[in-house]
Amino acid sequence: MANDYLLEVKEVSKRFSGVQALKDVTFGVRRGEVRALIGENGAGKSTLIKILSGIHEADSGTIFFNGTEVNIQTPRQAQELGIATVHQELNLVSALTVSENVFMGRLPFTKSAIVNWQKLHKDTEEVFKKLGIQISPRAVVGTLGVAQRQFVEIAKALSQGAQLVIMDEPTSSLSAGEIRKLFEVINTLKASGITFIFVSHKLEELYEIADSVTVLRDGEFIQTRDIHDCTIEELVQLMVGREITTMFPKIQVEIGEPVLEVENLSRTGEFHDISFNLSAGEILGISGLVGAGRTELARCLYGITRPDSGHIYLDGEECVIRKPLDAIKAGICLVPEDRKSQGLIMKMSVQHNVSLAILSRLKRLLGFVDSAKEADEVEGAVSQLRIKTPSVKQIVGNLSGGNQQKVVFAKEALANPKVLILDEPTRGVDVGAKAEIHRLIGAFVQEGGAVLMISSELPEILGMSDRILVMSKGKIVQEFASHEATQEKILSCAL
Ligand SMILES: Nc1ncnc2c1ncn2[C@@H]1O[C@H](COP(=O)(O)OP(=O)(O)OP(=O)(O)O)[C@@H](O)[C@H]1O
Ligand SMILES: [Mg+2]
C-alpha cells in the first residue's frame, strides 16, 4: 500500500514531573499539506513539536518519517532528516547577522579557511528571493522585528532543505499585513511540496492557510478534521470540551476623571509628539502596525526608556518617571509584549514571579510579608485564570507559553495599579483564557482603574476599547470613539 504520509506519530507519550504532557498521541500528516495543530494552553502542542525536533525525547511511542521509523534525539538529527522548526520562543542569535543565523553551523569557507562572506551573503539573498521577502543579509538579528526574525527562521529551514516545517505560533506577534506575507510564503513553499505543521490560537486564520486540523486536549489526541468541514464553534468545542461563552464581554463603565495625561511626548526615532488623556474606568486601545512605535511608547511610560521631551501627568500632577520603580510607585504597571526578557524571571516559581509585584503592597499594608496571604492571592489568581501548573511552586520556565502569559498578567493585575498598560495582553492565550483575561480587564476598570491597551488584534481592540488611538510611524494619526471605528477604518489609518 502506498504510504502518502510524510509523518506518522504513534502512541507518543511524554511526562514531566507532575504533568502528563502527552498521552498516547497518534496521528499522521500527509505530504504537501498544511496541518494546523490546536489545543488549549498546556494541551501539549509545543511538547509534541519539541519531540519532533529533537529537543525532548518521548517516554514511549514511535515516529515514522517518509515511511521509516526514526529516532530523533538531537535537533541536528531532526535537521538532517529534513524537519525544521520555528519555535514559539525564537531561537536566533541576536548578536549575529541574518546570514550567519541562516547558515549557522554551515558557513561557507574560502580555501584559506576563513568565512567566505561574499558567498554567505549572496546565498542568503538567494533564499530570501525564493521567499519573496526583503531583509538585508548583513543586518544584525537583534535589530530586527519579530516578523523579520521569523522570516529568518523560515529562510534557515528552507536553506536546510527541510521537507517538513513546523511553526509554533508563528502569527502570534505579527500584524495583519505580516501574516498575509507569511501565508504567501507558506503557500509558495507548499506548492513546491513542503509540508507544514502550524500551531495557532487564532482559529479564524486557520481557514486561510490550513488544509486540515489536529486537536489536542490535555495531552491527548482528539481528532483530525478537514478544516473546511469544521466550524470555529466546533473547533472550540473540540479544544475545550465544554461550551465557551462570549468572547469580548465589554462592560459599560462610568468614565471618571483623567488619571493619566500625556503631553507632547517624544523620543527620537521611536515616537513623536504623543498627547492623550486616559480616565478612570476607561480602556484606551492603541492600534497600529508592528513598528508603529506603540511598544516604545509603553516602555517609555513605564520608565524603561526616557522621553527626550514632553510631560506625563498623573492625577493632575506632573510625574517624572526615570525608571520602572518610579512608575510602579506612581501606580503605573506594564504587562510587556516580550514576556521572556521583560515580564518574567523564568527560573523562579509562579508564586515568586506573581508576588514580585504585590510584595511592595503587602509590605506597605502589613509591614512585613505575610507569606500565607501571599500564597492565597497567588493561588486565587492561578485558579481564576486557569493557569495550568501542577502547583504555584512550579518554575515559570516550565509552563506552556500561554500559561506564562497568564502569569505575567496576574502579576501586574494583582499589584492593583491606577494605570495598567497592556502590550498585547492575550498573545498566545487560548480562547477560554482570553475571555477570562478580558473579563479581568473589565473588572479592573469597573473598580476605577484605567487601561491603556496595545493590541494587534483588531477584534480585541474593537471589542474592548472605549476609545481607540491609531499610531503610524511613531505618531498618533487618528482617534476613534469605539462605536465609530471599524476594522477597515483602523487599517486604512494604520497604513
Ligand atoms: N520542561 C517542562 N517541565 C515541566 N513541565 C513542562 C515542561 N514543558 C512543558 N511542561 C508542561 O507540559 C504541559 C504541556 O505544555 P506545552 O508547552 O506542550 O503546551 P502548549 O499546548 O504548547 O500550550 P501553549 O498554547 O500555552 O503554548 C503543560 O502543562 C506544561 O506546564
Ligand atoms: Mg506552546
Do 218 and 264 sit in the same domain of this protein?
A: no
Do 194 and 99 sit in the same domain of this protein?
A: yes
**Which of helix, strand or coil describes residue 221?**
strand
Do 183 and 311 sit in the same domain of this protein?
A: no
Place of cell 509628539: 273
Question: Which residue from 405, 312, 287, 305 is spatially nearest to 354, judged by alpha carbons?
Answer: 405
Ligand nearest to the CA of 48: 1
Average pLDDT (39-62) is 95
Is residue 321 a contact partner of residue 302, using CB atoms and an 8 Å limit? yes
Average pLDDT (429-437) is 83
Alpha helices in 348-449 (DSSP H): 350-366, 371-384, 401-414, 431-446
Retrieve residue 450's grid coordinates.
Answer: 484605567
Which of 214, 240, 266 is a domain's end point?
240
CB distance 239 to ligand 1 below 6 Å: no
Do 375 and 348 sit in the same domain of this protein?
A: yes
> CA-based Rg of the chain, rounded to a whole angstrom?
23
**Looking at residue 1, what is its pLDDT?**
41
CB distance 42 to ligand 1 below 6 Å: yes
Chain CA centroid to CA 333, Å: 19
| Residue of 14, 85, 400 to mutate, ligand 1, most atoms within 8 A of C-beta | 400
Do 270 and 417 sit in the same domain of this protein?
A: yes
Top-ranked range on mean pLDDT: pick from 199-208, 275-284, 421-430? 275-284
Backbone angles phi, psi at 161, to 5 degrees: 70, 35
Do 232 and 377 sit in the same domain of this protein?
A: no
Q: How far is ligand 2, taken at its centre, from the CA of residue 453, in Å?
A: 24
Instruction: Give the model's confidence band at 96: pLDDT under 50 very low, under 70 low, under 90 confident, else very high.
Output: very high
Tens digit of each residue's pLDDT (9 = 90 or more) over 233-278: 899 889 887 666 555 567 788 999 999 999 999 999 999 999 999 9
- Domain span at residue 38 reads 5-240
Q: 133: domain CATH number?
A: 3.40.50.300
**Looking at residue 245, what is its pLDDT?**
57
**Looking at residue 370, what is its pLDDT?**
64
Is residue 323 a contact partner of residue 301, using CB atoms and an 8 Å limit? no
Backbone angles phi, psi at 19, to 5 degrees: -135, 125
Do 311 and 189 sit in the same domain of this protein?
A: no
Q: How far is ligand 2, taken at its centre, from the CA of residue 412, in Å?
A: 22
Q: For residue 250, is it within any domain? A: no
Which of 240, 269, 302 is a domain's end point?
240
Q: How far is ligand 1, taken at its centre, from the CA of residue 47, in Å?
A: 6
Q: For the chain, how long is the longest CA-to-CA vector?
A: 77
Backbone angles phi, psi at 107, to 5 degrees: -65, 140
Chain CA centroid to CA 272, Å: 27
Q: For residue 249, is it within any domain? A: no
**Looking at residue 355, what is its pLDDT?**
78
How high does pLDDT run on average in the chain? 89
Checking if the pLDDT of 491 tops 90, the result is no
Is residue 104 a contact partner of residue 79, using CB atoms and an 8 Å limit? no
Do 384 and 236 sit in the same domain of this protein?
A: no
pTM (whole model) above 0.75: yes
Q: How far is ligand 1, taken at its centre, from the CA of residue 23, in Å?
A: 13
Q: For residue 106, is it within any domain? A: yes
**Looking at residue 244, what is its pLDDT?**
60
Checking if the pLDDT of 122 tops 70, the result is yes
Retrieve residue 6's grid coordinates.
Answer: 510524510
Helix H, strand E, coil C: the string for 250-298 is CCCCCCCCEEEEEEEEEECCCEEEEEEEEECCCEEEEEECCCCCHHHHH
Q: Dihedral angle at the C-alpha atoms of 41, 44, 48, 49, nearest 10 degrees?
A: 10
CB distance 44 to ligand 1 below 6 Å: yes
| Residue of 9, 14, 16 to mutate, ligand 1, most atoms within 8 A of C-beta | 16
Tens digit of each residue's pLDDT (9 = 90 or more) over 375-397: 787 888 888 778 889 888 899 99
Q: For residue 248, is it within any domain? A: no
Is residue 414 a contact partner of residue 358, using CB atoms and an 8 Å limit? yes
Is residue 177 a contact partner of residue 2, using CB atoms and an 8 Å limit? no
Q: Whose CA is nearest to atom 29 of ligand 1?
A: 42
CB distance 402 to ligand 1 below 6 Å: yes
CB distance 124 to ligand 1 below 6 Å: no
Which of 213, 240, 267 is a domain's end point?
240
Do 137 and 72 sit in the same domain of this protein?
A: yes
Q: What is the enclosing helix (H) or strand (E) of 462?
A: helix 458-464
Do 189 and 275 sit in the same domain of this protein?
A: no
Q: Dihedral angle at the C-alpha atoms of 192, 193, 197, 201, nearest 10 degrees?
A: 40
Tens digit of each residue's pLDDT (9 = 90 or more) over 23-34: 999 999 999 999
DSSP 8-state symbol, 348: S
C-alpha 215/C-alpha 208 separation (Å) is 18
DSSP 8-state symbol, 140: B
CB distance 403 to ligand 1 below 6 Å: yes
Q: For residue 247, is it within any domain? A: no
C-alpha 353/C-alpha 404 separation (Å) is 10
Do 228 and 272 sit in the same domain of this protein?
A: no
Q: For residue 206, is it within any domain? A: yes
Do 55 and 151 sit in the same domain of this protein?
A: yes
CB distance 25 to ligand 1 below 6 Å: no
